[in-house]
Structure 1
Amino acid sequence: MLRSLYNRIQRLSVRRDAVWWMSAVSFAESSFFPLPPDVMLIPMCLAQPKKLWFYTNLCALASLLGGVFGYALGFYLFESLGRLIIDLYDAQDSFLRFQEMFAAYGPWFLILKGVTPIPYKLLTITAGFAHLDLTVFVLCSIIARFSRFYMIAVLLHFYGEQVQAIIEKRLMLVTTLLLVVVVGGLLSFKFV
């Protein structure tokens, strides 16, 4: 089952409309959607290494725009939509802790957490709710999101063929590690 899913994602990553799907996932992940864009970015970059930087920049830009949307949810629509998203992820305690961290560390907290695998949507909604200056939010998000996706791109640039060979040879191990990272990210915003 895992092998067929991997092969399916590989086939999707070379379709003409794959770039739009990746952009949509990246945008949505920054404001409300649980699936990270890495699921599409990595296979697309492996399938078409010459487009690695284009895909990375597009993914980061879509994430930034989605982050601004998440900020707007927290700033303008917290009571109607923002709280619903926080409740959907059962992240009320994390939301309160993030508010305290924003008050104490402001932009540095956003940069640090924006690079990690924790759900970025929680940061964007909290930043909007906390009324973090929009210019500061955008600048910090540029640093955080581009850094996050550039780390992946640099690894794929230098080790792309080896990464693909490892993924194909040890698919279960790679999937387990990715699952641990995602679950760890989710748990970190629950307990951090």
Structure 2
Amino acid sequence: MFDAVIDFLRDFGAWGLFIHSFADAVIFPIPAFFLQVSLSLINPSQALWLATVGYVACILGTPLGYLIGRLLGDSVLQRFLKKGSMQSAQAMFTKNGEAAILIGAFTPIPFKVFTIMAGAMKFSMWKLIGYASIGRAVKFYAVGFLFYFYGRAAENLIDSYLTYIFLGIAVLIFIAVVMKRKIQKNKQMTTEEAGSQEKAVK
């Protein structure tokens, strides 16, 4: 059924990608990546335009996915998680949400998972849009530039290397987040130690 939907959307070209990418951020379970590759393969000279269409549609759909999660997410999550587990999950997503959104934005996982989860966990919608803008730009334009510069040969590059490139980026993001936290923790400890010493002197 999903293949039939993608075939149907392919017939509408860029508009079909717009619809697919918007739905990818809201409810559709198949990532827009597959339609973007299919359309770029048909017309590589339009690859950057297709990347832009998909990117803009995804960002426009992100707030709607967030609102669905905010309004209905709890009822869905409660079926799978106990109350204590939900609170733990919310705390984890709040703490690691930036990394989750950045990494999830260019993985094969449907982006709706992250928009709905962000809403359900009451993560900041503006942070969601901000980090999604960065992550989704990486994914859409990586594909767009490859097809634009390498033409149909980019399909082999994407099949062979793109997954590894995205995994490498994900690892770098994870390392950056860990380092950022360590720096913040060290600063906090230094501030607390300075405060303790000041109180001791007084």
Interval containing the TM-score (normalised by the shorter chain): 0.5 to 0.7
**Given the two structures, how large is their TM-score scaled by the length of structure 2?**
0.63
Indicate which of 101, 106, 118 corresponds to 1:127.
118
Structure with higher Rg: it is: 2
Deviation at residue 18 of structure 1 after TM alignment: 2.0
Q: For residue 76 of structure 1, what is the aligned residue in structure 2?
A: 71
Query: Does the Cα contact within 8 Å between 1:98 and 1:126 map onto a contact in 2?
Result: no
Deviation at residue 59 of structure 1 after TM alignment: 0.4
**Across the two proteins, how many residue pairs are aligned to each other?**
153
Deviation at residue 41 of structure 1 after TM alignment: 1.1
Indicate which of 41, 44, 49 corresponds to 2:44.
49
The residue correspondences of 1:146-165 to structure 2 (distance < 5 A) are 146-163=137-154
Report the secondary structure of 2:105's partner residue.
helix
Q: Do residues 118 (structure 1) and 109 (structure 2) align?
A: yes
Deviation at residue 99 of structure 1 after TM alignment: 3.7
Query: Cα deviation per residue 1:161-192 (whole Å; 9 max; x = unaligned)?
Result: 3135x59xxxxxx6xx8xxx8xxxxxxxxxxx
Deviation at residue 159 of structure 1 after TM alignment: 2.4
Indicate which of 21, 26, 33 corresponds to 2:21.
26
2:107 and 2:92 map into 1 onto residues whose CA distance is 15
Query: Does the Cα contact within 8 Å between 1:111 and 1:144 map onto a contact in 2?
Result: yes
Which amino acid is the alignment partner of residue 20 of structure 2? V
Q: Do residues 103 (structure 1) and 103 (structure 2) align?
A: no
Deviation at residue 79 of structure 1 after TM alignment: 4.7
Query: Cα deviation per residue 1:15-68 (whole Å; 9 max; x = unaligned)?
Result: 5x2222211111111121111212221122222222211110110111122222
Gaps (5+ residues) in structure 1? 168-173, 182-192
Deviation at residue 138 of structure 1 after TM alignment: 0.9
Deviation at residue 71 of structure 1 after TM alignment: 0.4
1:107 and 1:37 map into 2 onto residues whose CA distance is 22
Query: Does the Cα contact within 8 Å between 1:98 and 1:123 map onto a contact in 2?
Result: no
Report the secondary structure of 1:127's partner residue.
helix
2:104 and 2:81 map into 1 onto residues whose CA distance is 17
Identity of aligned residues (%): 26
Which amino acid is the alignment partner of residue 30 of structure 1? A
Deviation at residue 119 of structure 1 after TM alignment: 2.1
1:163 and 1:129 map into 2 onto residues whose CA distance is 38
Deviation at residue 139 of structure 1 after TM alignment: 0.6
2:91 and 2:74 map into 1 onto residues whose CA distance is 19
CA RMSD in angstroms, aligned pairs only: 3.3
